[in-house]
Structure 1
């Protein structure tokens, strides 16, 4: 209340003190106190009274809590907070790293299979090292790696300089690069050429990622870390398309096993994020080892709401009591929840070994965690900093559930 923010002058006034965009402030996330200048910080630790309390939480909790993490730094933070595995490792975040984005763009813009394979060969050791580092930190804890999910245009350059460099490397005119970028743009990319559809049309991408995952896991086995890779195929809507991609991935894994002269256990699953996948879960469960609900996209497709655009009217819906809660923050149990329950029931009817979790942002929201516990999910997965609150909600759900005496 003491802050006066001038959005036109770009200043913040507190009494006689005036701060500009050139100033640095430090914020204590626990107390809300704001300090002028850059104070020395340290990562939050699970110690003292907080550590004792979380010990009580773990005593009563019987639902697992994983984390969404794509970098060693995120993994380390999640482990500090007590994460029991990784429920979502997004490989596209790795593709954006500076040491590989150029090769990714070459792969996307390649006019023939050989050029695309050549670019993928250069990305392969980088991906393998990514997974090796994550597996090494996680030890025997489960790690679910999602194959490439977003539409290809998201990786392409926008600046003139980057376009010229890419054209030079591909030995084509910059105008042709621009044409190809325009061709790949999509009117509705959320429903477009992404997820397992990429693996159907460009199976070499899925093959490269499967090889990187398995080779990294084999490397860990040599180090004495018994990793069981969990490979997740995104955006399935039909058992036939999923089976095709599964066979592509399995064939590449068997090639690696033959080359290395060694085999390890692994799991192949899918992300349930399209309503049709939930409705036909009994078919899909017959060709998968696990389900992971991507509730962000499942909410978008069930409501017909774009998460990116709904901010223009969603706050008004909540203010006018049309929606009680933001469905992207708190899971809609009546609609989206019905699809989740349907998928769990139908999936386990045809595959009693199926393990099921959730990796959408809802996985760290307390009322959603309690609801999913009642539905019978094995785990929830959330961002590293939400792990403690998800664990607390899971413990409370166990205590409150009538089936637990």
Structure 2
């Protein structure tokens, strides 16, 4: 058995940030506290450094390790990665030891393709949601992993909304979203000279490679120089099973602090959106609700979130900054 480059969340803890990055170490810590963290695994900071030694390629043993961890999650959740019946999808996030600007953004819904989107629609009985997730994935993957300008996709989305005479993305139906998906694939092909990748492992390889590449992009390099952060720390990659905030009006997503960061008042502070995915809250397309309003909309969920927040504060002995999804 060669060197270990991939750790499941169950194997890590908060003291392993040099290996698992800040995000990976804390996801593992929360998992082991028994909190509802969607299962996943972390590709270590050492793998990022080796990626550069391998001339920007992922090597076979690493991909085998990743495959093993995918199989474990498939068994646990009773889903198959990118399946035609009940697909398992992943989010991919970078996670450096110290948080820094310029690092790769998140990719959500990885594993969707022309077939898995039908499986997602079937397994959830929600075609609109499935195609909404697919159009988001194509745009994020293209922007984040392939550096295709986001504005090309936003223009298509705005045109379809204008044609239909609606303002919000949530007013588009499944047929509108299918049309957007097709147009997004055309943009990808025009920009990249090849079709949008349909093979899920290929999608994952591109995404993991992009995180490693983002470690050495100009913004990250300048930031490290200004803050005396060593160049050889590398970044980890967190691959986590998806939960969906965009399944309808009983799902949502938000960000919160365990207390008010400006005054220190011991009261949840933050905002959320129903029927949304993470980037909607920060993108400014729709106006989020204050977190206190969640108590009116979903009192049990609010209570659960409040308990988790207090639990984390007691555990870490500090104010917490939380991202959450309600499925």
TM-score by length of 1: 0.27
Larger Rg: 1 or 2?
Answer: 1
TM-score by length of 2: 0.32
